[in-house]
Amino acid sequence: MEFILASGNQHKAQEFDELFDHRIIKICSASKPVDVIEDGNNYYENALKKAKAYYDVFKKPVVSDDSGVDVVALPNDLGIYSARFGGENINFNERIELLLKKMQPFVGEERRASFTCVLCFYLSPDEIYYFSGKITGLLDIQPRGDQGFGYDPVFIPDELKQKNLTYAMAPDWKKDNSHRAKACKKAQDFFSQTHCQSKKSTI
């Protein structure tokens, strides 16, 4: 099954494509970006908005992704607003700096956070599927690591066996175990089963 990624970022489409077995799912970049107002109340609503907008333009199956970091101590600050935290005109280094400044009063388990990814597979207006992935951890007191992007340098995942490494310090582990990887695995398992059932029904 082939899906267009609801993003104007070709590099992001390549990253997604690498998470799937091409015998089951292949992700392609869109030929042009589509403007989408992400004013949903949660990850699911924003993922749907993006998927529908791209489907309406290209008339082909689309997959969209809405992700963010939720910080327990700052419940209303990030989440679906993670990419815009601190304002539209600052970069992610400045967003991280602002986040760490706000987190200064919190120590230990008070620094709990989680990454969430919601994928929306929009095959048609009558056939829409959602898959989610989540990973919990702690926010570091300073950025560490130069791999990854976004808030990766300050997120220490619980599941990483080699403790105290951030996402940005363990890119190979992140590729296979991140919130996005978990959501993609659920989608691949689902479509693999659906594809097998479809093949059986045509025999």
DSSP state of 26: E
Report the pLDDT averaged over residues 92-111. 96
199 pLDDT more than 80:
no
Q: Give the pLDDT confidence score for residue 195 in this predicted structure.
A: 57
Domain that holds residue 115: 2-202
CATH assignment of the domain containing 90 = 3.90.950.10
14 pLDDT more than 90:
no
Among the residue ranges 49-53, 69-73, 164-168, the one predicted with the least confidence is 164-168
Sheet containing 127-139: give its strands across. 26-28, 2-5, 62-71, 112-124, 127-139, 155-157
* 0.85 surpassed by pTM: yes
Residues noted as catalytic: 66
Number of domains the chain is built from:
1
What six digits make up the tokens of 25?
Answer: 């799912």
